[in-house]
Homo-oligomer: A and B are copies of this chain.
Amino acid sequence: MLHTFAPNHYHHTLGSHAPVLTLQPGDRVRTTTVDAAGVDAAGAQVTHGPNPTTGPFAIAGAQPGDTLQVTLHAITPNRPMGWSGTALAANVVEPEAAIYLPRPRKGGDADGLWEVDVAANRATLVGPGSDGSADAAGTRLAGLTLPLAPMIGCFGVAPAGGEAISTATSGQHGGNMDWRGFTAGVVVRFPVFVPGALFFLGDVHARQGHGEIAGTGIEISADVEFSVELLRDRPQPSPAWPQADDGAFLCTVGNARPLEQALQHATTAMAQLLQVKYGLEARSAQTLMGQVVEYEIANVFNPAFSVVCKMPKAVLALLPNPQSH
């Protein structure tokens, strides 16, 4: 069944909030998200930041220990203007270099403004922030045009233990992972921690570099279409973390600080996944991972960083007698 859902309120934590809609496994939803600052398709400030999320959508029958599988069918910016940071985050440069970073201006930063043309699939830098003043981003780079690569920055489910966790950060439940790999066509899996799973989504970026090192992608509101399935093929890897499948790679996502811990979670989850779902013994999984995995630094800016461990599906296909997934 296809649902069209127009949100009239947004959440700034992922938690056990009242669902806006209950979906059956297999259902498909068309909805919209506002940008990270709470501005919608019409340019109206409909809520505050950071990262207001649409939802939550309950999935009928979902129970803790299940897996919620979300297929992202379309992520389409729905207005002609996006914005980005124009300074590197203080924590991604050497501490001694941070001393020379631009000091944030009072009354609003000089954000980069980008014209976003979905039909032409491009974003063009048109200048600095709302005060109209020229600065570096508005001069030398003015007119720079980059292809779009729309992605969802913040999505996930209600966490365990009665927590309500800010949409600024992330964890085993997903959240603000800001990985540019969460694009249309990707299948994402979240562990279910509460009855109904309670799925939220928001914070679309028209594009973003690895690491989100300027603190943002090109932030924009969007139309999003997704469908949900419920997986009960236990046992799940433990501890459970978000997974993704983009056709070429099977991915596990770890969300934590420091960066090494995010990598540890993603790596441990992949080793578990290869054992639980592909029948490899522990040492075989480890031998294989050593020579073939790739990593991607999703974000190194949010309170929890995100690292993705990627196993090529072509390699998995080489394994003798793989158990499918």
Contacts and interface: CB of A to CB of B under 8 A. Distances in A.
Interface of A: 12-13, 15, 84-104, 112, 125, 135-137, 139-141, 143-146, 161-166, 207-218, 239, 256-261, 263-265, 267-268, 271, 279-284, 286-297, 300, 315, 318-320
Contacts of A87: 283, 286-287
Contacts of A257: 256-258, 261
A89 B84 contact: no
B319 A141 contact: yes
A12 to B, nearest CB: 6
19 contacts: A13-B162, A88-B267, A90-B98, A94-B265, A94-B268, A95-B264, A135-B283, A137-B287, A140-B319, A143-B320, A145-B318, A163-B166, A211-B293, A256-B257, A257-B258, A258-B259, A258-B260, A259-B260, A263-B297
A161 to B, nearest CB: 5
A236 to B, nearest CB: 16
B267 A13 contact: no
A140 B103 contact: no
B215 A290 contact: yes
A320 B142 CA distance: 9
A266 to B, nearest CB: 10
